[in-house]
């Protein structure tokens, strides 16, 4: 009888532990607030690759919309400092998704995104032809005033 009680207790503990360790599903609301991105890669052109490095601050509204400011150097030349942009994003339950960035005077940029660390980190890759550009971001914590 003691063995049976022990096995029942063990089964209850294991059943409860899966609920404790289950990862919550992602949705658009997983991304809410500002994130600091670092950007690295290349734009592939017939004349040879152009090196890309930059930083961005992207603010997600939790409803699929975003605003962004960025500074991007292409082959060491910066065209604009804190260039504004807007866009949209969509997250699936498995924390993968897509994002589209729109900067004035440029074609929209499409990215695949992966959210990790319970929404505190984002990893991206540009999916448009001719780009080999990735970025990583971490949530920017609001100041405690």
CATH number of domain containing 103: 2.40.128.120
The series of mean pLDDT values per 10 residues for the chain, 145 residues long, is: 50 44 80 97 97 98 97 95 97 98 94 96 98 97 63
Q: How many distinct structural domains can be found in the chain?
A: 1
Domain membership of residue 115 as a residue range: 28-139
On whether residue 39 sits in a domain, the answer given is yes
Q: Is residue 60 part of a domain?
A: yes
Domain assignment present for 16: no
pLDDT at 23: 57
pTM of the predicted structure, to 2 decimals: 0.81
Strand ranges for 25-64 from DSSP E: 32-45, 48-61
| DSSP state at residue 125 | E
pLDDT value of position 1: 55
CB-based burial of residue 99 (10 Å sphere; 0-12 exposed, 13-18 middle, 19+ buried)?
buried
Map tokens 């004349």 to a residue.
Answer: 47
Question: Quick check: is 130 in a domain?
Answer: yes
**Is the Cβ–Cβ distance between 118 and 25 less than 8 Å?**
no
Let me know if residue 69 belongs to a domain: yes
Alpha helices in 1-145, H assignment, sequence order: 2-21
Asked if the structure places residue 10 within a domain, the reply is no
**Residue given tokens 């971001």 in the structure block:** 137
């Amino acid at each position: 009888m003691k063995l049976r009680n022990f096995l029942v207790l063990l089964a209850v503990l294991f059943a409860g532990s899966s609920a404790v360790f289950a990862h919550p599903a992602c949705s658009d609301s997983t991304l809410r607030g500002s994130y600091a991105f670092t950007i690295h890669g290349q734009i592939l052109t017939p004349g040879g690759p152009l090196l890309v490095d930059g930083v961005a601050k992207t603010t997600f509204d939790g409803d699929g919309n975003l605003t962004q400011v960025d500074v991007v150097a292409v082959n060491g030349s910066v065209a604009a400092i804190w260039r504004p942009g807007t866009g949209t994003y969509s997250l699936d339950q498995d924390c993968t998704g897509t994002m589209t960035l729109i900067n004035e005077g440029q074609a929209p940029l499409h990215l695949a995104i992966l959210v990790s660390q319970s929404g505190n980190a984002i990893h991206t890759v540009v999916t448009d032809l001719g780009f080999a550009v990735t970025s990583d971001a971490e949530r920017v914590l609001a100041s405690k005033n």
